[in-house]
Structure 1
Amino acid sequence: MCKYITVFISVWASTWCHRVTALVGLRWELRGKEHLEKDQACIIVANHQSSLDVLGMFNIWHVMNKCTVVAKRELFYAWPFGLAAWLAGLIFIDRVRGEKARETLNAVNRRIKQQRIKLWVFPEGTRRNTGELHPFKKGAFHMAIDQQIPILPVVFSSYCTFLNDKMKILNSGRIVITTLPPISTEGLTKDDIDTLMDRVREQMSETFKLTSAETLQRYKPPQKSAPQAVVDGAEAVAVAAAVANSSAGYAQLHVGAAASYESYKSSAGKTSILKTL
């Protein structure tokens, strides 16, 4: 009975988030769908910019089949959403009591592998819309190595064109969600955690810059000429598609594609662009 309640709540949450997304004018484009569709246990690690990430996650929820999420304990007390989240199978952890959090995650780790469940984690911990990926916490990587299950990176492109937390600006916008090929942990030990974490973060950071450059290509950075901005945007589209479709796409990384994103992020005109969207 509990299983059917969980499925119902998950479907309800996904439907509700779809409607909210349409209401605020956000458009989500999923790439690398085949990696999410695969029936396997894995630890999904995603960058965390805003609460909007939850909308994006539930917009692709139907693709993932069996999936659950690690959330901070405080969310449980935000009823009725906390109750719905608990019924949907979310895993609540006490971030203040680190040892208790580890015990909770260890208790569910074996079940994840046995039942081929995908566990969604935001390894940055705290959401920060600063235009870059922040250092990762090790919990998700400990879990993946402990059960020898793959890491599945998911990258949301930058929200900078439509969201400004400090100025309370939220406009319609387009977000590219890229699922990268799974990264195996077979044969790895606890001694390999730092290397694995750096590898995953580097790949996600590269993809973040490329997909962000693509979504930003219609905005011309002040210090670039129009023809150069167009070239960078075209390169970003081609490279981002290659990255989304195969791990070999990383060989096609181009400095110019990432540079268009970096120049926008540091431009003095960013705030004025946000105001006019």
Structure 2
Amino acid sequence: MDMNLVPSIFLLSVVAIPLLYLWSDTVKYYSKVGFILIWIGMTSIVIIILCAHRGQNIDNMRKADDAHLGLYSTCVICSFGRVHNRMLNYMTYFLGIKVKVQGLENLPDEDSYVMVANHQGALDFSVYSQFFPPRCVPICKKEFLYMGPLGLAFWLCGYFFIDRQHRSQAITTMLHIQKTMLTNKFRIFICPEGTRNYSTSMLPFKHGAFHLAVQAQVPVVPVVISSYKSFFNKKEKKFTKGKCIVQILPKVETQGLNAENVAELTNRVRDTMLNVFYQISEVKQ
């Protein structure tokens, strides 16, 4: 290559990339998704550096938050603590996503409860950070544990990992969570659909979260995230500006319920959440 052409190629790239970002939804989609992935990786490393000396501890998330790291809200830190730093707003602004949280007054005063929410993809981390209560620990699939720095950061922050391929091990883990949740006074967060759902509805709910709540006799707190379909679409490679509504619903008591009531409880909570989902989303039922 003629070395005299290098400055021209560099200048052309500097001009072309921003133009492609503005003109092409596909380029914009991959740019934003790439940014999210890079930020998650960076933040995971920061968490490991800050918290490794403490070992696995759900209070690591508070330490990270107190450090005012404020890295983009899809990061592990912001998924947990109460985010009060300006960097979160800067990065949310960069993505062009406005999140409106409704129903914060419905968060219970109890030390322990099970929070359930619908799951639509990687953007959820950003949205969840807007309402996550203190000492609230997610349950996720075991595969995350082996995702390099991200898995180690999750482990340090006290995530619980479920082996969905082995039912007996999953049950053992849930029993352990039930006992320690009440003893150590923390909350559990779980997505009962069990996987990401890109449709404009909700998948059937798995019973695990509701079994946990009934066995521990703690409330279920439903949280509904409006559809991302108008601004984020993986299939169409679209990631534009948009708005998202989070509706926290009143708690559902489980006092006096038993295993025989779990299926009815699951369906009742899902029906309520689905109705709210259609009400706050720009999609048709």
Instruction: Give me the TM-score of the superposition, normalised by structure 2.
Output: 0.70
1:128 to 197, 210, 213: 197
Q: Following superposition of structure 1 onto structure 2, how do residues 28-177 of structure 1 map, counting pairs within 5 Å?
A: 28-36=99-107, 38-61=109-132, 64-177=133-246
Query: In the alignment, residue 114 of structure 1 is paired with which amino acid?
Result: T
Residue 79 of structure 1: how far off its partner (Å)? 2.1
The separation in 2 between residues aligned to 1:69 and 1:13, in whole angstroms, is 21
The separation in 1 between residues aligned to 2:130 and 2:149, in whole angstroms, is 20
Q: Over aligned residue pairs, what C-alpha RMSD do you find?
A: 1.9
- 1:63-119 C-alpha deviation (Å, 9 max, x unpaired): x11100011111122221111111111111111112111211211212212333111
SS at match of 1:132: coil
TM superposition outliers: structure 1 runs of 4+ over 4 Å: 1-4, 10-15
- 1:153-203 C-alpha deviation (Å, 9 max, x unpaired): 000001111011112111121111111000000000101011101110011
Q: Give the conservation status (yes or no) of the 8 Å contact 1:37–1:65.
A: no
Q: Does 1:7 align with 2:7?
A: no
SS at match of 1:80: helix
SS at match of 1:96: coil
Q: 1:74 to 1:89 in 2, by over 3 A?
A: same
The separation in 2 between residues aligned to 1:44 and 1:150, in whole angstroms, is 8
The residue that corresponds to 2:284 in the other structure is 262
Q: 1:164 to 1:117 in 2, by over 3 A?
A: same
Residue 9 of structure 1: how far off its partner (Å)? 3.7
SS at match of 1:59: coil
Q: Give the conservation status (yes or no) of the 8 Å contact 1:153–1:181.
A: yes
The separation in 2 between residues aligned to 1:13 and 1:189, in whole angstroms, is 43
Q: 1:131 to 1:143 in 2, by over 3 A?
A: same
Gaps of 5+ in 1: 217-260, 264-277
The separation in 2 between residues aligned to 1:85 and 1:109, in whole angstroms, is 19
SS at match of 2:129: helix
For these two proteins, the number of residue pairs brought into alignment is 214
The residue that corresponds to 1:207 in the other structure is 276
Instruction: Give me the TM-score of the superposition, normalised by structure 1.
Output: 0.72
Q: Give the conservation status (yes or no) of the 8 Å contact 2:225–2:247.
A: yes
SS at match of 1:16: coil
SS at match of 2:148: coil
Residue 132 of structure 1: how far off its partner (Å)? 0.2
Gaps of 5+ in 2: 1-53, 74-87
Q: 1:92 to 1:14 in 2, by over 3 A?
A: farther
Point out the structure with max Rg over C-alpha.
Answer: 2
2:98 to 8, 27, 32: 27
The separation in 1 between residues aligned to 2:112 and 2:70, in whole angstroms, is 21
Residue 59 of structure 1: how far off its partner (Å)? 2.7
Q: Following superposition of structure 1 onto structure 2, how do residues 206-245 of structure 1 map, counting pairs within 5 Å?
A: 206-212=275-281, 216=282
Q: Give the conservation status (yes or no) of the 8 Å contact 2:192–2:209.
A: yes
Q: 1:22 to 1:96 in 2, by over 3 A?
A: farther
Query: In the alignment, residue 86 of structure 1 is paired with which amino acid?
Result: W
How much identity, in percent, do the aligned residues show?
31
Q: Give the conservation status (yes or no) of the 8 Å contact 1:49–1:129.
A: yes
Residue 147 of structure 1: how far off its partner (Å)? 0.8
